[in-house]
Structure 1
Amino acid sequence: MSIPWADIGAVSTAGLSAIATWGAWLAARRSAKTAEAVARIERQRWHADLTPQFDISIERSESGRAALSIRLVGPLPLGRLDEIAVRIVSSDDMDRTARLPGGPTQEDLDAQVWGPCRFTHGADGADENGQTVAPFSLSVGTGRPFSIERTRPPHWQEGPDVERRWRDEWLNAPMRLVITCTREEFEPWVVPCDVEVPTAVRVRWLN
């Protein structure tokens, strides 16, 4: 019986070709994964480099209120933000979870601004509780003011000196903000900010 060397050679060649093809596919897949990882790292680095920078201050006004000035100051390559959403959050780190039967509900606790300042309801698209304003856009180098006022104690707190105790609680506390920024083709940025309340504004609100 003769050995079909030609057939064996053909099978061997086909096998080697298949191995080579598989090796090339595996190398291409690894290369694609490496390129994807590099691109992802580069996107993350670029996203971090473009984190919005704000100059935020509180200025006294003559109306008994004050103005919160928000300016987008950089970075220059960012150019603009399509939407900026500002929320006032608690000026302390207390856990305010409703636990006592008959006490304030979680909805009551969440609606209260726990800090020295809130947005003025009816101005700048502020919500009823003074926690947010209507979203807006800014280009780098521009800004806008927002009307703010002193917070009031929660409706469930009572006593003849409740106003004084409430003011004293937040006397040296900052106005704490969380700013969510979006721009087309980028993941959102979330920028927390602590804004000092100037002495002149505090003194005016104490009177």
Structure 2
Amino acid sequence: MKEAQAFRPFETLAEALIPHSHEGDDGSHDLAHILRVFKNAMRIQASEGGNGRTLAAAVLLHDCVAVEKSSPLRARASALAAEKASGVLADLGWSKEDIAAVAHAILTHSFSVNIEPETLEAKILQDADRLDAIGMVGAGRCFYIGGRMASSLYDPLDPAGNDRPLDDRRYVIDHFQTKLFKLADGFKTAAGRALAAERDKRLRDFLDAFMDEI
């Protein structure tokens, strides 16, 4: 499988897990997203340590169940993914302890589930995934998801939300303030925090430029 080569040095594991790694047609949670998260995770792990095999499996399967942002099941997405991942890894002969480590990382990576990661691998996965939500890629994903949800770009009378409640389901730009600008303060690793600071600045510069243009 050609795609698996991009996940070196875990290409053999990737070949086994890519067929289970994502569902549906969501371009913000596709194989490209998984590969970006993998690169983020490997970059953080190079500084922080941790079990590479566990981390790679968790990255490859962290979005293996597709739940749209607008779905009432969204808060359970990571739990459903952890459950599916556990079954996939069991079929591959993984031990119960190793499966539990991967499942914990997948469960706790989600912003909406609000469960603290307890292991280094879980902390790295959470940081790696959140890095993909900020910076230029994060801005692009934000607008892409807004389009899938049929949201407007912004309120034409009050784009910044100075005199109205913020509503990121109705206006894409509101999502910067309701969620994206809050992410950088919650990173769990030193390497992740350093990368997040750079991307958070890019995201804020982007919003400043966007507001200037409108």
TM-score, structure 2 as length reference: 0.23
State the structure with more CA Rg: 1
**Highest RCO, 1 vs 2 (Cα 8 Å, sep ≥ 6):** 1
TM normalised by structure 1 equals: 0.23
Higher helix share: 2
